Amino acid sequence: MLNSVRHCGDISFHREHGDRIRRIWSRLQQCGLRDQCEWVKGRLATFEELQSVHSEQHSFLHSGLLKKESNSSCSTAALNMAFGSVIELALHVARGELRNGFALVTPSGHHASHSKTNGPCMFNSVAIAAKQLQDRIKVKKILIVDWGLRHDNGTEKIFYSDPNVLCISLHHYDKGCSFYGTGEPSMIGSADGKGYNVNVAWSGGLSLPMGDAEYLAAFRTVVMPIAHEFSPNVVLVSAGFEAAKGLSGYMVSARCFGFLTRKLMELAEGRVVLVLEGGYDLISVCDASQACVSALVGNEPEPLAEEELQRIPCANAIESLETVLKAQSKYWRSASSMLETVSLSYVKGERTYSAGTEAALVLGARSRFPNEPMEHDEDDSM
């Protein structure tokens, strides 16, 4: 279930450093989660696997020793082991050999596109894994959720016209003034892929930082309804933890990341793979990783703060969520229906949804004439 790969060499000058992996691994051992997991042996990624997503030139250029400005002097084998391990874990889960998994690897990859690197991201491990699931075992529908603070611009580009891969990114946007300036809600995909790219683009700065209530609202109104409509066979998560408390000014708790993981496990019969991306405050990233792995193994969750469950999302978040729902309403029925509930707290929103569902069921039952057979009654009785 758990996959850990360590880098080699002196990489202390870059925040994508191996100590982050060692600290998370140590935390999982200390809290007993390591013993609840099955170890998946890593392997090297092949050149063909890298090239399934990246150009031949890109693959040749960056499968050698890394340039110092990108990351470190780590060997080709260490890098390929990280990417290959993500692929291997995804295949195990998709085949039903493991229930779910967490790939504890570095470097991050979600900003790498077909022929372009970005910071420490040279190869897009999540995208490569998704492509291998498509090509090798014919997985029909894959959901990729990226909850890191920075937009998954590389993953978006790779699958922008693919209707079989639904990409949902939750990220700091501020109307294009943040990080890479990408990830606007109007970017909904192209050609057959229209509607299969969803950008939850947070705007409004840090005057009222996004926290649990805002991320719960995003999952309640955007992520989960659209994901349920899509009905994926496998869920891959680019699990960056920059939005965790103590990192960027955002205030998402470790418990909330665990809760979001449990929500995603409602999809694809629980076939969920988390892949570590960003997040470099060691305490925060350890806390968040522990919460996510605890959710994956099925432990009893720690309750979220009642204040956050009852809190209405801030005005900036409401505006951001309404914007993305309007952009997606042409492609997903749930987007239109959820618009009216964006300004509700998580608890009230869930109650409203449940009440509406029950009312629809009652209305459906009462609308039938007495003794009228159901559409498939005859077939069911055979």
Q: Is the dihedral of CA 82, 83, 88, 94 positive or negative?
A: positive
How do beta strands 142-146 and 101-104 pair? unpaired
Give the tokens for residue 376: 């498939």
Spatial separation of the C-alpha atoms in residues 163 and 146, rounded to whole Å: 17
Which one, of 264, 182, 275, lies nearest residue 230 by Cα?
264
From the candidates 92, 110, 111, 151, which is the catalytic residue?
111
Helix orientation angle between 254-264 and 282-296, rounded to the nearest 10 degrees: 30
Contact 293, 260 (CB under 8 A): no
Q: What is the SS3 assignment for 158? A: helix
Q: What torsion, rounded to 10 degrees, do the Cα atoms 283, 284, 289, 295 define?
A: 120
Q: Using alpha carbons, select from 132, 125, 92 the residue that is nearest to residue 107.
A: 125
The answer to whether the CB of 349 falls within 8 A of the CB of 220 is yes
Is 228 a residue of the active site? no
Strands (DSSP E) along 138-220, which ranges?
A: 142-146, 165-172, 197-202
Give CA torsion, residues 112, 175, 202, 101, to 10 deg: -10
Q: Annotated active-site positions, please? A: 111
